Amino acid sequence: MHSDLKDDSAAPATVVLLGQPNCGKTTLFNRLTGSHSRTSNYPGATVDFSLGELNQEFEWPAQVVDLPGLASLVPQSPDEEVTVRSLFGGAAHPAPDVAVVVADSTQLSRHLYLALQVRQTGIPMVVAVTMCDLLARRGRVLDPARLEERLGCPVVAIDGRSGTGVKELLDWAREAARTQPDHDRRPLGPLTADAVKASYAETELFEKSCISVSPEAAEQGGATQDHDVDPVTRRIDSVLLHPLLGLAAFVLIMGTIFTGIFWAAQPVMDLIDGLFGSLSGLLVDAAPESFLVRLLGDGIVKGAGGVVIFLPQIVILFFCMGLLEDSGYLARAAVLVDRPLSWVGLNGRSFVPLLSGFACAIPGMMAARTIPGRRERLLTLFIMPLMSCSARLPVYALLLAFLTPKDKPWIGGFGLALLYMASVTSGAVISGLVARMLPASSSSSFMLELPVYRIPQFKVIFRSTYLRSKHYLTKAGVPILVIATTLWLICNLPLTDTAGLDPDLAASRRLESSYAAMGGRALEPLMQPLGLDWRVGVALIGAFGARELFVGSLAIIFHVAGDDDTVQESLLQTMRTATLPDGSPLFTTASSLGLVVFFIFAMQCLSTAAVARKESGGWTMPLLQIFVFTGMAYLAAWFTVASLRALGVA
């Protein structure tokens, strides 16, 4: 049993922020904590929450927890269940000393339903009312004092963006945490339909008694009706949610984001690649030739470059998503594509992550955190590697250049378009099949509140982009670096005497005698049905580090050197003359098309697997992706080669 009066000098207080999605809760969290926050996981679950120390300016030693948005304390899904459980000490943070319930004043009756439930749990509570500026657009004004009388707890009107009312809110929260007892807290039991109706009837009365026509609107002849859409939002939505204009705008906006992720990031990615390549070269050249020097320069430094090189794409992705979310458009985009995605077991929130996957699966998987439903989120993560990411382009470019006559380059362009269509089709088919095999733990219907449009707060978006990008470097970057270094070791061990050899020839000799080459020779029985040999098997092993390494591995194996342009042309010439032990061509139309089909499906990027483990909460999904997709890739490649040979295509 605790005392009814708590000492501020004890351990820091815990303040949790509760509220429905799009209520302004995260904006308030950023205002309270600034950059002193981190993302954590609930124990035994994949649900993230943000945890931060209260800014020193507020002179209160407290930690703030931004819980995922939810509509009720009676959970309807596993995600909601762990969120509710955290209110009673079931998370990595202590049980809250006070709960701040954030409610949107423009939808007050619906948002106060959560406040009534928190009141029933016995947790000390303060209500923060947001969006009062949007309420004023409708010619209405809130009376916080009257609402406070109705709820029996402090009510403060705030603006998390400007900071208005935040200091007063914290003063009340501190008082509630200090003076109210924390015993007799109890989770809510099952609710009857009558109890829910009664609660909503009560909150509707609260809204009618606490919101009135503003004096300015009264002078102008009144205000909009209680449930009218914001007039600015209504005008914008007449275009952006129009059956034809809305779709065109959607394609334009998403195409711009995709172009930004894919093209705008490329110069910075090239710069990062060049910097790490130069640093690696300096380390190798500055010290005597040795295994440790090459491990540091070519293994660890270049492996670190493989982590950082994705950062520009991730920064652009998170910044663009922040703009769309803060402006209110992201919810509209989800609604527009919800119906076609529902046919394959997904919903509207899956679109942006899948679109991002065409640039890189890693930021796409991280973007899937915006999907609230666990089943849809995991299904999106599962099919993400099937999207044709930019790392496949060097492989496709090489193989299509080999297959395309020089005087008919349009065939290569048409083939590349077909490959992207194939990735979308395969992802949709597999998603639909897996969705039908999985039991539906709860309703997969898609319900999303459409927030009003607002001018994005760039300070908040920049901070959010920084924190999310930092999270990628610290969380996903470590396993990616470990995997890249491990693959380098496999391709360079056991040690081989290459003294006096040309550097390119030495690299080739080391690769030919490496564990990777041993694995490639062990895979030769699997390569033969595809018309290939152990050398291509070694390149495929190297591609598990990153798909684009397939081209570099082939160049090393076939002793091809030069700059990027001459390497590709020299490699193409070598591919045209390479033979199998029996003298037959190694690369034929059938075997090359088989390789193309293999790369459409294969889960070869182990960096993606590392991120899948982090985002799914375990190794089950990435292991399934590796074995299922790679096995499916092999069978599809074999079927392609066998079918072409049966048709007389060599």
> What H or E segment, with its residue span, contains residue 646?
helix 630-646
Task: Print burial letters for 367-376: b (CB count within 10 Å at least 16), e (below 16).
Answer: bbbbbbbbbb
Q: Provide CB contacts within 8 A for 448, sequence distance 6+.
A: 21, 331, 334, 335, 348, 349
Longest C-alpha distance within the chain, in Å?
94
What pLDDT, on a 0 to 100 scale, did the predictor assign at position 3? Answer: 43
- Rounded to whole angstroms, how far apart are CA atoms 627 and 244? 42
For 432-474, how does the pLDDT look when each residue is reduced to its tens digit (9 = 90+)?
Answer: 888 888 766 554 455 556 777 778 878 778 877 887 777 667 7
Using the predicted structure, report yes or no on whether residue 322 has a pLDDT greater than 70.
Answer: yes
Rounded to whole angstroms, the Cα distance separating 338 from 366 reads: 20
Range with the poorest average pLDDT among 64-68, 75-79, 126-130, 391-395: 75-79
Mean pLDDT, range 265-280, rounded to an integer: 79
Instruction: Look up tokens 């096995």; give the residue.
Output: 631
CA gap 247, 351 in Å, rounded = 14
Q: Is the pLDDT of residue 624 over 90?
A: yes
Sign of the torsion formed by the C-alpha atoms of 582, 585, 586 and 590 = negative
> For 301-312, how does the pLDDT look when each residue is reduced to its tens digit (9 = 90+)?
776 776 677 688
Q: In this predicted structure, what is the pLDDT of residue 157? A: 93
- Using alpha carbons, select from 49, 50, 21, 48 the residue that is nearest to residue 33: 50
Ramachandran angles phi, psi of 30, nearest 5°:
-65, -35
When computed from its CA atoms, the radius of gyration of the chain, rounded to whole angstroms, is: 29
Rounded distance, CA 44 to CA 91, Å?
Answer: 9
Query: Do residues 615 and 382 make contact, with C-beta atoms less than 8 angstroms apart?
Result: no
CA distance readout (Å), 559 to 266, 436, 518, 625: 28, 49, 18, 33
Residues 88, 86: Cα–Cα separation, whole Å: 5
Report the range of poorest mean pLDDT among 79-83, 122-126, 539-543, 612-616: 79-83
pLDDT computed for residue 44 by the predictor: 42
Please provide the distance, in angstroms rounded to a whole number, between the alpha carbons at the two ends of the chain: 82
* Residue 480: predicted pLDDT: 65
* CA–CA gap between residue 581 and residue 596 (Å, rounded): 23
3-state helix, strand, coil in the chain (%, to 5): 65, 10, 30
For every residue of 12-30, DSSP letters joined together read PEEEEEEE-TTSSHHHHHH
Q: Where are the domains of the chain?
A: 13-228, 245-475, 476-646
Distances (CA, A) of 424 to 15, 152, 357, 543, 604: 44, 54, 11, 22, 18
Q: How many Å apart are CA 325 and CA 331, to the nearest integer? A: 7
Sequence-separated contacts (24+) of 627-633 with Cβ below 8 Å: 628/603, 629/385, 629/386, 629/601, 629/602, 629/603, 630/601, 630/602, 630/603, 630/604, 632/601, 633/597, 633/598, 633/599, 633/600, 633/601, 633/602, 633/603
DSSP string covering 138-173: TTEEE-HHHHHHHHTS-EEE-BTTTTBTHHHHHHHH
Name the residue among 314, 337, 193, 333 with its Cα closest to residue 249: 333
pLDDT band at residue 362 under the 50/70/90 scheme: confident
Compute the distance between CA of residue 6 and CA of residue 10 in angstroms, rounded to an integer: 8
Mean pLDDT of 357-368: 79
Per the prediction, the chain carries an average pLDDT of: 79
* Residue 321, pLDDT score: 78
pLDDT in tens, 544-562: 877 777 877 777 677 665 5
Q: In the structure, what pLDDT confidence band is assigned to residue 1 with cuts at 50, 70 and 90?
A: very low
Give CA 90 to chain center in angstroms. Answer: 26
Residue 205 has pLDDT above 80, yes or no: yes
pLDDT at res. 259: 67
Identify the residue whose tokens are 């991280």.
Answer: 366
Per-residue pLDDT at 7 exceeds 80: no
User: Can you tell me the mean pLDDT for 289-298?
Assistant: 77
Closest CA to 353 of 326, 329, 320, 312: 320
Nearest-CA neighbor of 134 among 436, 603, 451, 538?
A: 451
Mean pLDDT comparison of 17-21, 271-275, 471-475, 643-647, highest-scoring range:
643-647
Q: Please give the pLDDT value at position 637.
A: 95
Nearest to 313 by CA among 355, 368, 370, 264: 264
Cα torsion angle, 509, 511, 516, 521, sign: negative
Q: How far is 95 from 60, CA to CA, in rounded Å?
A: 18
Q: What is the CATH number of domain 13-228?
A: 3.40.50.300
